[in-house]
Structure formats: C-alpha cells, structure tokens
C-alpha cells in the first residue's frame, strides 16, 4: 500500500495554499519536471496531474495553455493541498535542486521607477533636469541578453571590459564598480503575434506571473559604452531570476493604484483596470539587510510596459521575460542599487562596521520579497541570490 502524507504549513507560512508558486525541480532521479511549492514541500505535478506539460524541463508548455488552464490547474492544486498525497509525490524543498524555470526567448529590461531615474539623473547630470524629456511619456527600456539569464544561486564571474580611469583613453580589465539592481520580472504566458500590439487591459491575458530579478550591472563599463546606443556589455554578462514564479492570481490582494502620471500618457498606454503591485523587497549584502525597496510606487505599470513593448508590432512568446528596472523608494534606505545607496561612491554603506561602495569578489547579494496575500497574511516571492567570483582570465 502506498504511504500517504499530509503537508501542513505553519499558520504564519509565506507558502500557504493562497500562494503556490511554480518551479522546475529534480530529485535524485535527475529528471527535471514542474513542481509547486507548498509550505516547506515541493509537490510533483508531473506525478499528481495527468498532463504531460508538467513532465517538461521548463514551464513554457504549461504557460502556453493560457489563463483558463492556469486557473483550472491552480484550483486542482489547491484541492490537492487539502488531501493526503502519495509520499513519492512530495519532496522537502531543501532536498531538491531547482533550475531556471523558463526557456527564455527574449528578455527586456525597463527603467520604470521614478525615484531610481531621478537619483541617477542627479548623479550623472548635476544641476540639470534629472529626467530626460521622454521619461514621463513612455516606459524606457532596452532589449537584454536572454542567454545569460541564470537561476538564483548561480555564481557570477566579475565581468571584464573597457572603462575609463580618469583620462580620455580607455583601459581593459575587470569592472571595479560592480553593482546590483533589485527588480520585479514579469513572465509571458500566452504570446502575441507579430504585428499585433497588446493593449493595457489585455495584460492578464498574456502575463502568467512574476519572479524576482537581480540585473547585475558593471557601472564603469556601462558608463563608457552606453552612448549612443545604450547598455551592452555592462549588463549582458548576467541577470539572475528567482527559481519560483508566483502566479498573478496569488497577487490579487496586492494590487494598488498607480501614482499620478503627468502628463497623461498617450491612449495606447491607458487602460480601465491598470494597476501596480504592493510588493516589498529586501536587499541583503553578505547577510545584512541594506535596503527595502517598495514596488508599489513604480511609475510605469507592468501592463504599460507590455503595451509599449509590443506597440510597434514586436511579438512575444511563452517564457519571455521583462523586468521593471530598479525599484527604489523615496527614502535612502529604499534604494535598489548600490550606486544609489553609496551615492556614486561618495557616501559608503556601513556594512557591519566596514565602509563599502561596490561589490568585491566573494560578496553575496540576496533579494527577497513579500506581498499581501488573499488569506489576509503575507505571501513570499522566494529569493534571488548570487555570489561574485573573480573574473575569468583570457
């Protein structure tokens, strides 16, 4: 007779049945498949649900099924949470290995936070208008490198490239101003056809859920290369994504109104049901919390970002990822990048008694987040974590 087990999260668990994020895991068998986190356990959907999409090594085929199937699956999983399950379908979360949950065809990074954009403008253009003329008219973004998006826990080698050292002539070498950017990422479920823009009010028809993102940034390489075409090697070496993807349905209680947008956006950036999310992040540096960025104040919404991304007819596919850009609040302790926290190096961060500015080899950054849950208690969005290694040598 098959042994049965009941998973019983504690009353204050961030991983109750109102959450249920999806990931891709393996046990000792070595076969990657889709699982859902419930309490401190991973439920094996490949064994529990009769659909081959859950036996795949990415979420993509499941995502492509669309919102009705996502809701049906969520309801079935919630029913399973109330029952005893075969022991071989339940794994302790600490006993499994997680991989990048998506096959990411395209990655786009935005610059949607007013405080972050204002802070960088003040740092780089002192005495002038901190915001460039287009910033309040459209969600500024760039097309990133999908092939270097890595799962949380992956070590990050310090990048090398050209940068300046106080003269007009560049030098080549390891970045000395290696930084982080605490962001929220949005995962495309149902793609859109080439030539067909996605309207703001169609956001939930296309976006499945969210993950935490750390968009590692080599500020010295970026500063030399970005004019006139924008970020390239200073960004493309690595972007970290959390292993768990939280469905939008789990964030229903986290919806908040957008801040006032002045001037009023053009019609394609407006919608009847547009909103932001009350997600609270924590950035820890070598285990010490140094910042608590609030997503609720982001100027451009995820629906507006998707509308802008596709308004020229660009297509999207299941598993595509786009990120918010750095999340920073109005207070110094809410800044989502080290560049802002140390104010360009002029105001070092006190890290357990040591003044620090940018990342050193061996440093580890962990970003976690919570949001209001539908059961009246917070839910967790997991973590995105990475440790800096010395550069690869040619």
Q: Which residues are known catalytic residues?
A: 116
Collapse the DSSP code of 178 into the 3-class scheme (helix H, G, I; strand E, B; otherwise coil) and give the result: strand
| DSSP for 340-375, written as a single string | HHTGGGTS-EEETTEEE-SPPTT-EEEEEEEEE-TT
| DSSP for 147-171, written as a single string | GGEEETT--EEPPEEEEESSSSSEE
First to last CA, the chain: 58
> Residue 236: which H helix or E strand, with range?
helix 233-236
For residue 218, give the nearest of 165, 172, 167, 163 by alpha carbon: 163
Question: Can you tell me the distance from the alpha carbon of 210 to that of 212, in angstroms, rounded to the nearest whole number?
Answer: 7
Where would I find the beta strands (DSSP E) of 61-200?
Answer: 85-86, 90-92, 97-99, 107-110, 141-143, 149-151, 156-157, 160-164, 170-174, 178-179, 182-188
Question: Can you tell me the distance from the alpha carbon of 319 to that of 207, in angstroms, rounded to the nearest whole number?
Answer: 10
Cβ(286)–Cβ(363) under 8 Å? yes
């Amino acid at each position: 007779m098959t042994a049965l087990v009941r998973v019983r999260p504690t009353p204050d668990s961030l991983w109750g049945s109102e959450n249920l994020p999806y990931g891709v895991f393996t046990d000792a068998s070595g076969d990657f498949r889709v699982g859902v986190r419930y309490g401190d356990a991973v439920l094996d959907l490949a064994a529990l649900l009769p659909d081959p999409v859950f036996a795949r090594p990415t979420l993509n085929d499941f995502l492509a099924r669309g919102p009705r199937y996502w809701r049906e699956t969520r309801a079935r999983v919630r029913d399973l949470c109330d029952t005893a399950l075969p022991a071989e379908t339940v794994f302790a979360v600490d006993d499994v290995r997680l991989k990048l949950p998506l096959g990411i065809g395209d990655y786009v990074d935005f610059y949607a936070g007013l405080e972050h954009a204002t802070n960088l403008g003040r740092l780089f253009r002192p005495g002038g208008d901190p915001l460039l003329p287009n910033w309040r008219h459209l969600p500024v973004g760039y097309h990133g490198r999908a092939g270097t998006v890595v799962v949380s826990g992956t070590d990050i080698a310090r990048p090398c490239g050209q940068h300046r050292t106080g003269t007009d002539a560049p030098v080549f070498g390891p970045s000395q101003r290696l930084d982080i950017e605490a962001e929220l990422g949005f995962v495309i479920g149902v793609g859109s056809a080439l030539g067909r823009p996605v309207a703001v009010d169609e956001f939930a028809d296309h976006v499945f859920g969210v993950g935490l993102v750390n968009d590692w940034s080599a500020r010295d390489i970026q500063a030399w290369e970005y004019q006139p075409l924008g970020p390239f090697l200073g960004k493309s070496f690595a972007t970290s994504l959390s292993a768990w993807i939280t469905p939008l349905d789990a964030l229903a209680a986290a919806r908040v109104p957008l801040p006032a947008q002045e001037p009023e956006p053009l019609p394609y950036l407006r919608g009847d049901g547009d909103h932001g999310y009350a997600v609270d992040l924590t950035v820890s540096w070598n285990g010490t919390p140094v910042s608590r960025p609030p997503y609720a104040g982001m100027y451009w919404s995820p629906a507006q970002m998707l509308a802008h991304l596709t308004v020229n007819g660009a297509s999207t596919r299941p598993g595509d990822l786009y990120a918010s850009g750095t999340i920073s609040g109005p207070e110094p302790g809410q800044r989502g990048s080290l560049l802002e926290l140390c104010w360009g190096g002029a105001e070092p961060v006190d890290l357990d008694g040591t003044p620090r500015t940018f990342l050193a080899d061996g440093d580890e950054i962990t970003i976690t987040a919570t949001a209001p849950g539908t059961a009246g208690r917070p839910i967790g969005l997991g973590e995105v974590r990475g440790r800096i290694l010395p550069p690869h040598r040619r």
